[in-house]
Structure 1
C-alpha cells in the first residue's frame, strides 16, 4: 500500500539530509510545523499492522539519500599534505626554501629601512654570467619579479634552467659576450637573501613577523651595497620586468649617477588600486590559514593551503583571457565523468596544479612582505618627501644602534600602531562638477607629482615596454611611465607596446616572448 503524498512530505521534512549533494526542495513543500509532523506520524502508526509494515518499508526506502555524497579529492589532498608535513616538522623545518647553489654577499653594516626598521646585518644571494671588464663598465643588474630567485640562467654550479634562460647568454638579448650580468634575490625573499625565514642575529631565532616592513627602495639599496662590494661604481644598465621593472626605475631615482640605462618591462611608476586590491586578497587568504599562526609557523606545518589559494589568485592575473580561451576554452578534464566541485574544467586543473606546485617552494611570510612592498611603491615626489622625512627622523635610531645603545626594537615605540576604523569606509556622494573631473583623462596627462619624482631620470636613456593583453600591469601604466619621463625632460625614451596581435600571454609575456621582448631589449642595450 502506498503512503499518501502528504505523509511522504512530512516524513521527508523530518529527516536530516546527510548527503553533501542532496537536492534542495522548495520551502513550501516543508510547511508543516513539528506539531503537525507528530500528528501525521501518529495517524500513520494507527493503521492496521499490514498497512503499517508496508508504510514502514516504503519510508525506509525514502529515508536513504536520493543521491550519493560527492567526493572531494582536492580537499583530501590538502589534508593529506598537512598530515605529511606535520610528521616531517618533528625532524626540522619544512620545507627549506632554496633554489640551488649561488653566491652570497654578507653585509655586517646595518641597513636602515625606509619605514624605520633596521637589519643589523644581511645577506644578498646573487649569481653572475659573463665577464666583468677591466674598468668595470659593462655590468648589468637584472631585477626579478615577486617570487623569482637569483637563478635567471643556468650556471656550472647550478645547471638547472633559469627563469630567463633563453634571454641571457652568448649572442642573446642580454649578451654575455658583452656584458657582466648580475641577478639577486631581493631582501625579504627566501632564496638566500635575508628575509622573514632568516635567523635574527639578536636572538638566533627566525624573524618571522618580527621582520620589518620593506620597500622596493630598500631592496635596491641592499643590491647597491653588493655593487659597492664588487667595486662597480656605475651600471651599464638596470633591467627588470614586473616588480623588477619597478626596481629598475627606483634604482635610477635613488642612484641617478650610477645607472647608465634603464629597462622597465611590464612595470609601473606607482602601484595602482587594482593591483593593490588583488595582492590584498592574496595576503588575506594566506593569513586566514590557521597554520599561518601570525607568521610563526616555522618548524611546524606551513600554511600551504593558504599559499596554494593565493597563488591560484595570482595566476589568474598573469595570463590573459583570450589566451586561456584558445588554450583551454570550456573543455573539461574528463567529459565522460559527472561534474564535480573539485577542479573539473581544464582551466581549474591548471590553476590547481599551479598552486600545488608552488605552495611549498616559496616562504609564506616572504610573499606577505614582498607583495606589501609592491603596494607601497610610489615614485611620486610627495611620497618621496614623506619617506625622506621618516628616514631623517630615524637616523638617530640607527646611530644609537651602531653605538650599541639600543637594539633595533628597543626605542619604546609601537612599531605597528595600526587600528581598524570605528566605521567602515562608505561611498560619499560627490558634487556633479567634481565627479566629472578626469573621467576621460588622456594617458599623456600625467600628474605633476610623478613628473617631479622621476626628474632624476631625465638624463638616463630608458626603454619602457608594455603588453596590451596584460591585466595585472595594464599597458596604460607603461605609457604613463614613458610620458612622465618625457615630461621630466628625458629625450631618450623608447616606448614599445606589444599589441594583442603580437602577444596574448598577458603579464607573463616578459618570460615567454623572446622575439618581441628579447628583440627590444637587445636593440636597446646595443
Structure 2
C-alpha cells in the first residue's frame, strides 16, 4: 500500500490562540480530483476528533477511507467535479504536528509541553495548507462533528474564504453534556498509572484509560434506540464470559470491548487529550462579543447546508438549528435537514444513503 499523504509546512513560528507557538510544524493532507484553472472548484473537509486525512481511497492508497462511500467519482462529493482536500487536524497524530512529535528545541517529544491547542489553531493550520495550494476561496467547506466547529472557526477567522458550507452533526459551542462526557474520557486517561503525566511509552501505554475513554465515546456516538435494537438484553454464551467477578455478561459489553481494542493503540493518548479539550473550549461566541449570533454573523457565505440527526445526544439537533438560524439571519441561503437516523451522532458515517442524498443534492444545485 502506497501513501497518498502529503505534508504542508506551517509558517514558522506558527502562533497559537492561547499563547505559545510551534516551530517547524506541519499538517498532513490528501487530495482527490483536479484543481481547475481558476482554482475555483476546491472542497475542503475538516474531520472529527480521530480520523486521518484519508477520507476516501485513491491510487496511491487504495484502502477504504473514513468517508469512503461519500467521496469519489459520481458520489455525493464528486471527485470528477471537485478538487477535494482533507486536512488532518493540527494536534492529531495522523501525520500532523502533535504532542507525540519531536520538539525541535529539545530533540524530545513535546508531550505536555505542546502549547495549549484550540480549534482556531486547527482552522488556521488548515487555511494555511489551502492557501499554499493557491486557493483563495473554497467552493465548499465541509465540517463533520469536531471538524464542523473547526469549520466555523475557519470561516469566522477568514471571512469570505468559502462560498458554500456544509455543516454536519456539529455545534456552535460545546454544551455541558458533551463537556461532561469528554471530561470523563480525559479523566480515565489521566487516572491510568501508565499515563504518568504524559510520560508513557509503548511498553507502558495507558491501555485501560484509553479503553474506557473510547467506550464512553462509542456509547455517546450512538443512540439508546440503536443499542436497544441491536443488543436488547442479550447475554453472552457461557463460554464467552469472563471467569472473573463482575466480568462481562451482556453482548453490549463485549461489543464495546471490541471497539476499544481496535482503537487504543491507534491514537496517541496525549493527542487525544489535547483535541478533546480543544473541542470543549470552542465557542463561536468568542468571535462575536460573547454572542453566538454575532459570532455566526462574521461568517460570509452564499449558501449553507446544515444537517443534524434527531437521535444525536452529543451534538443535539437544536445546536444545528442554532447554526442554521444564525447563518440565515445574516442573509445566507440555508437549507436545514433534520434526519431521523437511529445511529445518533455517528449517523454521518453510517447512514450514508440519507446523508449522500442531502449532501449530493446540495452540491449539485
Partner of residue 518, structure 1:
356
Larger Rg: 1
Change in 2 beyond 3 A, CA 1:319/1:338: closer
Contact kept? 1:196, 1:209, Cα under 8 Å: yes
- How much has 1:101 moved relative to structure 2? 4.9
Change in 2 beyond 3 A, CA 1:228/1:347: same
- How much has 1:341 moved relative to structure 2? 2.0
Contact kept? 1:136, 1:232, Cα under 8 Å: yes
Q: 1:225 aligns with which of 115, 122, 128?
A: 128
Q: 1:478 aligns with which of 299, 310, 320?
A: 320
- How much has 1:370 moved relative to structure 2? 0.2
Q: What TM-score, normalized to structure 1?
A: 0.66
- How much has 1:248 moved relative to structure 2? 1.9
Alignment of 1:197-208 (within 5 A): 197-208=100-111
The superposition leaves residues 127-159 of structure 1 with CA deviations (integer Å, 9 ceiling, x where unpaired) of: 111111111110111011100101111122221
Alignment of 1:72-471 (within 5 A): 101-298=4-201, 300-334=203-237, 341-380=246-285, 383-384=286-287, 449-471=291-313
Q: What TM-score, normalized to structure 2?
A: 0.95
Contact kept? 2:160, 2:300, Cα under 8 Å: no
Q: Distance in 2 between matches of 1:337 and 1:265?
A: 38
Change in 2 beyond 3 A, CA 1:336/1:199: closer
Q: Distance in 1 between matches of 2:44 and 2:301?
A: 19
Q: Distance in 2 between matches of 1:337 and 1:182?
A: 44
Q: Give the structure with the larger strand fraction.
A: 2
Q: Distance in 2 between matches of 1:264 and 1:160?
A: 26
Contact kept? 1:249, 1:269, Cα under 8 Å: yes
Which structure is richer in relative contact order (CA contacts within 8 A, separation 6 or more)? 2
Partner of residue 11, structure 1:
none
Change in 2 beyond 3 A, CA 1:341/1:518: same
Residue segments in structure 1 that go unaligned for 5+ positions in a row: 1-98, 387-447
Contact kept? 2:6, 2:30, Cα under 8 Å: yes
Contact kept? 1:457, 1:490, Cα under 8 Å: no
Total equivalences in the alignment: 361
Instruction: Give the secondary structure class of the aligned counterpart of 2:141.
Output: strand
- How much has 1:108 moved relative to structure 2? 4.7
The superposition leaves residues 265-308 of structure 1 with CA deviations (integer Å, 9 ceiling, x where unpaired) of: 11001111110110000000100111111111136511111101
Residue segments in structure 2 that go unaligned for 5+ positions in a row: none
Q: 1:493 aligns with which of 318, 322, 334?
A: 334
Moved more, 167-176 or 326-335: 326-335
Instruction: Give the secondary structure class of the aligned counterpart of 1:261.
Output: strand
Q: Distance in 2 between matches of 1:227 and 1:320?
A: 36
Contact kept? 1:252, 1:262, Cα under 8 Å: no
Alignment RMSD (CA, Å): 1.8
Instruction: Give the secondary structure class of the aligned counterpart of 1:257.
Output: coil
Instruction: Give the secondary structure class of the aligned counterpart of 2:167.
Output: strand
- How much has 1:459 moved relative to structure 2? 3.8
